[in-house]
Amino acid sequence: MSKLASSEYYDLVRTTNWTPRYVTEAEMFPEAMSGSRGIPAEAWETFDEPYKVTYSDYVATQREKDAGAYSVKAALERANYIDTADPGWVSTLQAHYGALAVAEYGAATAEARMARFARAPGNRNMATFGMLDEMRHGQIQLFFPHEHTKRSRQWDWAHKAMHTNEWAALAARHMFDDMMFTRDAVSVAIMLTFAFETGFTNMQFLGLAADAAEAGDHTFASLISSVQTDESRHAQQGGPVLKILIANGKKDEAQKMIDVIFWRAWKLFSVLTGPILDYYTPLEHRKQSFKEFMEEWIIGQFERQLKDLGLDLPWYWDEFVRSLDETHHGMHMGVWYWRPTVWWNPAAGVSPEERDWLEEKYPGWNSTFGRCWDVITENLQKGREDLTLPETLPTICNMCNLPVVGTAGDGWNVRDYQLVHNGRLYHFGSEVDRWCFQQDPERYQGHMNVVDRFLSGEIQPQNLAGALLYMGLNPGEIGSDAHNYAWAGIGKQNQAAE
C-alpha cells in the first residue's frame, strides 16, 4: 500500500465545520470578525482553493526556499555589494524595507483573522499557511537589511519606520489597517488577497526583482523572487470567496470592496513603487517604466481576472488609466522636495539623459513636470539649495494621507477635492479618494492626518523642526539628494573648480 497520495486525504483536512451547541453559531463567528453576510455555512463549504498544499509539503518546500535565499545572502555578504551600489538603488532598498518588512509580519495577523473566523474550512487552512508565509516575509525582510545597520542609521528604519509618525509610514499604516487589520475575514480575503496581492504585489515584486537583477543586486533579487513564489499560494483565497459572494447575491458588496481597496493600493504604490522604478533605479538598469509595468500586470492581468470572475472594472477605471501618466510623477516630486521628511535619500532622477527617457515613456513630461524640475535645477546651479527645500507642509489627503498632487507646468490640473462632513472640512487628492470616504465615513472621520495634527497643535514646536521630531527623524536619518546633486551638473562644476 505505502503512502497515500495527498489527493486521497486532502478533503478530509478541510472537513472541519461543525454545528456548535454550547455556544451559538453567531457567538462563535461574530459578524464583525467573520463577515459571513447571512450566507450559510453550507454555502461557504463550497470554497475550493485552486492551489492545494499539505502540511508536509509546506514545511519541505519552504525549508528549501529559505535554504536557497539565505545561502545566496551568506555567499554574497562579504562582497559588500551595497558599498558600491548606486545610491539610488540603496534608497530603493531602504524605502522598500521600511515600508514593507514590519507590515508583512503584520499581515500574518490578517491571515490569522481568516484562520479563526472564516466560515469556509478550506479558507481557514489556507490562511494558516498564509499566516506562516507572512511571518516569513516579515522575518526575512528584517534579517536581510539588518546586516547594513552598521552602514547608516537609515537602515535602522527597516524595523523602526512603521513604529513612527513619519508621514509615509503613517500613510502606509492607514492603508494597511484599513485593508487587512480592521476588517472581517471575508473582507480580508477580498481586499488583501484579491485586490491587493493578486492585483498589486505581483507588480511590486516582479518589477523590483527584474530591476534588482539588472542592477547586479543578486541578494535582493533572490530574496524578492523567493518571497514572490509564496504569494500565489495565499493570494488565491480571494477568488473562491468572491465566487461564493456573487453566487449568493452579494456582487455589489464585493465590487465595492474591490473598488475601494484597488484605489487605495494604487495610491500607495504611486508613492512607493512609481518613483523607484522611474527615478531611483539607475537608467541603464530600468527594464520597463512604471506605467508599462502597471499596464502589463494591472491592465493586462488583473483586469482579465476581474472579468473572469464576473466582476466589473471599478467605476473610475478611465480616471485610473489616465492617472498612470501623472500621479507617481507628482508623488516623486513631492518626496524629493520634502526629502528631509523621509528616511531614505530620494534620487531626483532628472539628469538630461533621464529626462529624455521620461519624455519617451511619458510624452509631454518635459513641458509639465519638467518645468518644476527646470526651476529646481536652476536654483541648485545658482547655489540656492535653500529654494529647493520646503518651508511649509503640503496639503495631505484625508484618505490616502499622501500629498495632493496633479500635473504641473503646461498641463496644470492640481485640485483639492473637499468635503464638509459633520462640520469638519476634509481634503482629498482625487474624486475617488473622496468617494472612498463617503462609502464609510465612520471608518475614517475621526482620523487626523499629519497636517490636521500640525494645525491642532499636537506637533510641537509648531515648525518644521518640530514636525521632524514628531516624525522620529534625526540628523543621520533624514533624507537628502541621493547623488548629492551630481545630476544637476554640480559635482562636475566642483571638479572643474578644483
Ranges within 316-375 binding another protein (CB under 8 A): 340
Binding mask 282-321 for another protein (x = CB under 8 A): ----------------------------------------
127/141 Cα distance (integer angstroms)? 21
Phi and psi, residue 426, nearest 5°:
-105, 150
| Residue 99 neighbours by CB under 8 Å, 6+ apart | 161, 162, 168, 169, 172, 272
SS3 at position 312: coil
Contact present, 39 and 243 (Cβ < 8 Å)? no
Nearer to another protein, 250 or 447 (CB): 447
Between 84 and 495, whose beta carbon lies closer to another protein?
84
Stretch that binds another protein, among 10-18, 262-270, 303-311, 373-381 (CB under 8 A): 10-18
Least distance CB 360 / another protein (angstroms): 35
Residues 93 to 122 in contact with another protein, rule: CB under 8 A:
102, 105-106, 108-109, 112-113, 115-116, 121
CA distances from 54 to 3, 13, 48, 66 (A): 14, 9, 14, 18
**Measured between alpha carbons, how far is 336 from 338 in angstroms, rounded to an integer?**
5
- Three cell numbers at 201? 504585489
Residue among 160 and 332 whose Cβ is closer to another protein = 160
Contact letters for another protein, residues 46-85 (x by CB under 8 A): --------xxx--xx-xx--x---x---------------
Q: Quick check: 137 and 197 in contact, CB under 8 A?
A: no
**Lookup: cell for 437:** 470616504
Closer residue to another protein, CB minimum distance, 6 or 305: 6
Q: What is the largest CA-CA distance in the chain?
A: 85
Q: Which of 73, 96, 119, 136 binds another protein (CB under 8 A)?
A: 136
- Name all contacts of 293-300 with Cβ < 8 Å and 24+ positions apart: 293/203, 293/206, 293/207, 294/203, 294/324, 295/324, 297/200, 297/202, 297/203, 297/206, 297/207, 298/199, 298/200, 298/203
Site string for another protein, 224-253 (x = CB under 8 A): ------------------------------
Query: How far apart, in Å, are the Cα atoms of 364 and each of 208, 271, 369, 430?
Result: 26, 21, 9, 22
The interface with another protein within residues 379-418 (CB under 8 A) comprises 389-391
Work out how close the CB of 45 gets to another protein at its nearest, in angstroms, rounded to a whole number: 11
| Residue 421 dihedral angles phi and psi, to the nearest 5° | -135, 125
The minimum distance between CB 361 and another protein, in angstroms, equals 32
Q: Is 465 in the site for another protein (CB under 8 A)?
A: yes
Stretch that binds another protein, among 72-80, 125-133, 200-208, 412-420 (CB under 8 A): 125-133
Report in angstroms how near the CB of residue 364 gets to another protein at its nearest. 32
Among 107, 478, 488, 490, binds another protein (CB under 8 A): 478
Residue 349 in contact with residue 487, Cβ under 8 Å? yes
Site for another protein in 414-443 (CB under 8 A): 442-443
Nearer to another protein, 202 or 226 (CB): 226
| Count of residues interacting with another protein (CB under 8 A) | 90
> Least distance to another protein from the beta carbon of 113, Å?
6
* Cβ-based nearer residue to another protein, 243 or 443: 443
Q: Counting contacts by CB under 8 A, is residue 264 touching another protein?
A: no
Q: Which is nearer to another protein, 132 or 283 (CB)?
A: 132
Selected range binding another protein among 22-30, 241-249, 365-373, 451-459, rule: CB under 8 A: 22-30
User: How many CA atoms lie within 13 Å of 344's alpha carbon, on the beta-carbon side?
Assistant: 29
Restricting to residues 138-157, name those near another protein by CB under 8 A: 138-140, 142-143, 146, 149-153, 155-156
- The crossing angle, in degrees rounded to 10, of helices 202-214 and 218-235 is 160
Piece of the chain touching another protein by CB under 8 A; list 4-12, 284-292, 299-307, 409-417: 4-12
Residue whose CB is less far from another protein, 43 or 142:
142
CB of 434 vs another protein, minimal distance in Å: 16
Stretch of 36-44, 162-170, 202-210, 262-270 contacting another protein, by CB under 8 A: 162-170
- Grid cell in block for residue 309: 470572475
One residue of 445, 460, 462, 494 binding another protein per CB under 8 A: 445
Neighbour-count burial of 99, counting CB atoms closer than 10 A to its CB (0-12 exposed, 13-18 middle, 19+ buried):
buried
**How many residues are listed for the chain in this entry?**
498
**And the C-alpha cell for 135?**
511571518
Q: Is 15 in the site for another protein (CB under 8 A)?
A: yes
Single out the residue of 93, 127, 268, 432 in contact with another protein (rule: CB under 8 A).
127
- Roughly how many angstroms between the first and final C-alpha of the chain, as a whole number? 82
CA distance 248 to 412: 46
